[in-house]
Amino acid sequence: MKFRVIVTYKPGILDPQGKTIHHSIEMLGYKEVKDVRSGKYFELEIEGNDKKKAEETLKEISSKLLANPNIQTFKIETDK
């Protein structure tokens, strides 16, 4: 089974990369862009057919390795 994990900063947490990108966008003349938030994207393939177990495994991996739970949040997606 294939899954995607998307990691982003929690609301209210400073996103320096997003701010830098936003500043560059403004310098290029795109004043209509109000904000930019950056994140990380991971694709993982899990063996087996138990979707619930795979999602539990991914939650553990995400909270222990892929995201810093103090300042980041993650979302797990799968193909329908």
Give residue 80's pLDDT.
62
Give residue 79's pLDDT.
79
Locate the domains of the chain by residue range: 2-78
Q: What is 2-78's CATH topology?
A: Mth169; Chain: A , (3.30.1280)
How do the pLDDT tens digits run along the chain, 80 residues long? 999 999 999 999 999 999 999 999 999 999 999 999 999 999 999 999 999 999 999 999 999 999 999 999 999 999 76
Long-range interactions of 66-70: CB distance < 8 A, separation 24+: 66/5, 66/7, 66/40, 66/42, 67/7
76 burial level (CB within 10 Å; 0-12, 13-18, 19+): middle
